């Protein structure tokens, strides 16, 4: 919060749920369904379809004004962050498709950074599909519609998913997801094949233009820009 010498609030920045509406900038009713306030996006967090943080990303992330320096007195309109997510499954060297916990903010043509530290590499996005990757937790038989899974993060109702690999692979449409207790993905039509414990379930992920040069484990970071303190912001308008 920035105050004038007399104590008047001249500018403010709010992250997350609003604690003091009087100190915020912008209409508190227009941030979006269930968001409850006009605030800047929290840097480096992944949200699910209910606007709940499901995976804080431990990267050097920040929020900045976009376009650089703009101030319309609305936190919701003025601030953007990097598109940031985590890998939802290990991606081997040579892969041209990665499975992610969220696709929010990513788009074809972006240069992204995958991994961290010495294991970081860059890639250019060719296409953006759907999020989510998990494994079958308990074997599923032909004709069943409910799949017990390791987790349901990133998946959405109506999404087409791929179950298993190779000759045993099949596609299905998600009809519902239960995240509490034993995570379950229910599909719209009965399974045509049996799937054993550990079988892969995933969305279509993000495809890149050239193969990865390194292996990146489940949980590795992917983001589309880095903070530029002291120089103009490089955020993408698509991340707002």
Tens-place pLDDT, residues 50-73: 344 444 444 556 677 777 777 877
Considering the domain architecture, whether residues 57 and 166 belong to the same structural domain is answered as no
Cβ contact 60:221 at 8 Å: no
Integer Cα distance of 85 and 219 in angstroms:
9
Phi and psi for 77 in degrees, rounded to 5? Answer: -85, -30
Residues whose CB falls within 8 Å of the CB of residue 7, separated by 6 or more in sequence, listed in order: none
Are residue 214 and residue 198 in the same domain, yes or no?
Answer: no
Q: Which residues are bridge partners to 47 per DSSP?
A: 53
Residues 172, 112 share a domain: no
Q: 98 and 214 share a domain?
A: yes
Other Cβ atoms closer than 10 A to 141: 10
Judge if pTM exceeds 0.75.
no
Together in a domain, 210 and 102? yes
Do 141 and 26 lie in one domain? The reply is: no
The reply to whether 238 and 219 lie within a common domain is no
Both 70 and 48 in a single domain?
yes
Where in 109-189 does DSSP place strands (E)? 111-114, 121-128, 133-135, 146-148, 160-163, 170-178, 184-187
What one-character DSSP code corresponds to residue 178?
E
pLDDT at residue 45, as a whole number = 53
DSSP code at position 225: -
Shared domain for 14 and 29, answered yes or no, is yes
- Which helix (H) or strand (E) segment holds residue 77: the answer is helix 75-78
Instruction: For residue 29, give every residue at least 6 positions away whose Cβ sits within 8 Å of its Cβ, in sequence order, or none.
Output: none
What whole-number distance in Å separates Cα of residue 108 and Cα of residue 97? Answer: 13
**Structural domains counted in the chain:** 3
**Low-confidence spans in the chain with pLDDT less than 70:** 1, 9, 15-39, 41-62, 226-229, 233-240
Contact 61, 105 (CB under 8 A): no
Q: Are residues 214 and 106 in the same domain?
A: yes
Say if residue 125 is exposed, middle or buried (CB neighbours under 10 Å; 0-12, 13-18, 19+).
buried
3 contact partners, CB below 8 Å, separation of at least 6: 9, 10
Same domain, 147 and 231: no
pLDDT score, position 89: 93
Residues 142 and 231 in one domain: no
174 phi/psi in degrees, rounded to 5:
-75, 130
Question: Would the CA dihedral through 57, 110, 99, 95 be positive or negative?
Answer: negative
Note down the domain range covering 147.
Answer: 133-202
* pLDDT for 33: 44
Structure tokens at 114: 């995958």
Residue 208 has, within 13 A of its CA and on its CB side, a CA count of: 24
- What does the alpha-carbon distance between residue 147 and residue 162 come to, in Å, rounded to a whole number? 13
């Amino acid at each position: 919060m920035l105050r004038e010498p007399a104590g008047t609030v001249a500018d403010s920045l709010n992250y997350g749920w609003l604690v003091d509406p009087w100190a915020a900038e912008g209409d508190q009713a227009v941030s979006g369904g269930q968001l409850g306030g006009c605030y800047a996006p929290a840097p480096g967090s992944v949200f699910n379809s209910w606007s709940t943080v499901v995976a804080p990303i431990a990267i050097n992330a920040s929020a900045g004004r976009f376009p650089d320096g703009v101030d319309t007195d609305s936190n919701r309109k003025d601030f953007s962050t990097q598109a940031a997510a985590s890998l939802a499954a290990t991606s081997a060297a040579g892969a041209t498709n990665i499975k992610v916990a969220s696709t929010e903010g990513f788009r074809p043509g972006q240069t992204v950074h995958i991994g961290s530290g010495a294991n970081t590499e860059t890639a250019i996005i060719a296409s953006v599909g759907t999020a989510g990757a998990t494994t079958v937790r308990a074997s599923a038989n032909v004709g069943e519609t409910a799949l017990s899974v390791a987790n349901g993060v990133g998946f959405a109702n109506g999404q087409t998913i791929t179950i298993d690999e190779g000759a045993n692979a099949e596609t299905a449409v998600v009809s519902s997801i239960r995240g509490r207790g034993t995570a379950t993905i229910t599909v719209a039509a009965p399974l045509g094949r049996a799937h054993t414990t550990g079988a892969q379930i995933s969305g279509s992920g993000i495809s890149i233009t050239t193969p990865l040069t390194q292996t990146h484990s489940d949980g590795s970071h992917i983001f589309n820009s880095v903070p530029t303190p002291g120089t103009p912001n490089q955020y993408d308008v698509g991340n707002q």
